[in-house]
Amino acid sequence: MSWLLALSTIVTILAWMVARRRPDHRPIALFLTVALAADLARWPLRLFVLLPAHDRFGSASFSGWWRVAGHLESALFLTWSAGIAAVAQVVFVRRRFWPVVAAWAIFVALLAIGYPTIRGAVLARFYLGAELVALAVAIGALVQWFWTEEPSGIQHTIVMLLIGVDLVVVIAGAWRHGIFASWNLAQISYSVLYFLLLALNGLALWLAPTSSSRSPR
Amino acid sequence: MASTDIELSIAALTAFVSVTITLLTLLHAEVRAQGRKREERDRMILDALTRLGIDPRKEGTLYPVEVHPRGELPAGAPVRIAVDSELLPSEGSARSDPWGNLDGEDTSGMLPGEDERDEEAHPRAKTSP
């Protein structure tokens, strides 16, 4: 869905414009950048490598560079889940995101080691497991933050939106109806999410102080 | 249910959840901001009372005070506090609220040293250690 990529690009640019004025918005901008980069990389990978590979191998497992491309696509797909856990850690409890990156790398390694057992329906369950772990980490950080006296900002709202929309996708959307057959349902949810992110980042940009309005140092 | 119906349901559910989260978090942010403003105001009042030589907690009495200007205090704005002995709660007083509202009464109190009338307006300050 190329227009979703276009929307993602606009939201990411807007987020960086906000982050230039408000440093606390940087984790959001970084998350959106990683998500956009992963989607941009996956698009040609699927179109020019994996779809021809499916035609070539049929129902048999991939081998050689085709298999590497498949694992790369899986790793890129998992960046969204890992990103939500990481940005929640940074925004809500001010922790470093490297442990989440390490967990993501372990999940990707397990996928590669478990292949060809982990493919098809097993791969879908594996993805679901990773998604649930990421959501549990993110919700844990959210609950921790809720009991603190930390001031609430627009970046908190955005991370809560990411968690909320991902829960909808898992409970009622593509994960329920089958991610390989019904991913368009997830794209619908993410489109709604990105429209809201567009509005929130626009609001944040409007509210953020400009460099000319800052007091001279 | 047809596929289009599922898509519309998902879109509606996502929109509902998103808008609800956004509104709730904005409300939550406002509640926290108000709480911080109240804490800041209370701290400034206690600081001002301490400068007057009054320790409401130590003496076990809360003094009715008026913060001027009313409502929100802009950052860095001076806080003027009037402590009037006539307004202090006494036995049998109808003012049960120690931080009672002084609506309709004089709010132009001064900090000590600002005006000679302070000495008259804040008898408690003289008697406190």
How many domains does the structure of chain A reveal? 1
How many domains does the structure of chain B reveal? 1
Q: In whole numbers, what is the pLDDT of chain A averaged over residues?
A: 88
DSSP secondary structure letter of residue B81? E
Q: Which one of A150, A185, A215 makes the best mutation probe of the B interface by having the most chain B beta carbons within 10 Å?
A: A185
Q: What is the pLDDT of residue B102?
A: 40
Give the distance, in angstroms, between the CA of residue B17 and the centroid of all CA atoms in the same chain.
34
Average pLDDT of span A75-95: 94
Q: What is the pLDDT of residue A216?
A: 38
pLDDT at A160 over 70: yes
Q: What is the pLDDT of residue B83?
A: 52
In a domain, A215, yes or no: no
Which CATH number goes with the domain that contains A105? Answer: 1.20.1070
Q: What is the pLDDT of residue B81?
A: 54
Average pLDDT of span A44-59: 83
Average pLDDT of span A172-185: 84
Residue range A3-40, pLDDT digits in tens: 889 999 999 999 999 999 888 899 999 999 999 999 99
What is the span of the domain harbouring residue B99? 3-127
Predicted TM-score (pTM) of this structure: 0.72
Average pLDDT of span A168-189: 86
What is the DSSP secondary-structure string of A16-74? HHHHHH-GGGHHHHHHHHHHHHHHHHHHHHIIIIIHHHHHHHTTSPP-HHHHHHHHHHH
- Beta-strand (E) ranges in chain A? none
Give contacts of B 29-48 with A, CB under 8 A. Answer: 29, 32-33, 36
**CB within 8 Å of A69: residues ≥ 6 apart:** A45, A49, A50, A53, A62
Q: What is the pLDDT of residue B97?
A: 38
Q: What is the pLDDT of residue A135?
A: 95
Could you tell me if A176 and A128 are in contact, meaning their C-beta atoms sit under 8 angstroms apart?
no
pLDDT at B101 over 90: no
Residue range B18-63, pLDDT digits in tens: 889 988 888 888 888 888 888 787 777 777 777 776 665 554 444 4
Residue range B55-89, pLDDT digits in tens: 655 544 444 444 444 445 444 545 555 555 554 44
Residue range A121-148, pLDDT digits in tens: 899 999 999 999 999 999 999 999 988 8
Q: Treating both helix axes as pointing N-terminal to C-terminal, what angle do A183-207 and A2-21 enclose, rounded to 10 degrees?
A: 30
Q: What is the pLDDT of residue B117?
A: 44
In a domain, A216, yes or no: no
In a domain, A134, yes or no: yes
Nearest CA of chain A to the CA of B52: how many Å?
A: 30
How far apart are the C-alpha atoms of A25 and A158, rounded to whole Å?
A: 10
Tell whether B13 is within 8 A of chain A (Cβ). Answer: yes
Could you tell me if A86 and A31 are in contact, meaning their C-beta atoms sit under 8 angstroms apart?
yes
Q: Which one of B3, B25, B39 makes the best mutation probe of the A interface by having the most chain A beta carbons within 10 Å?
A: B25
Burial of B30 (0-12, 13-18, 19+ CB in 10 A): exposed
* B122 — pLDDT class (breaks 50, 70, 90): very low
What is the span of the domain harbouring residue A156? 2-209
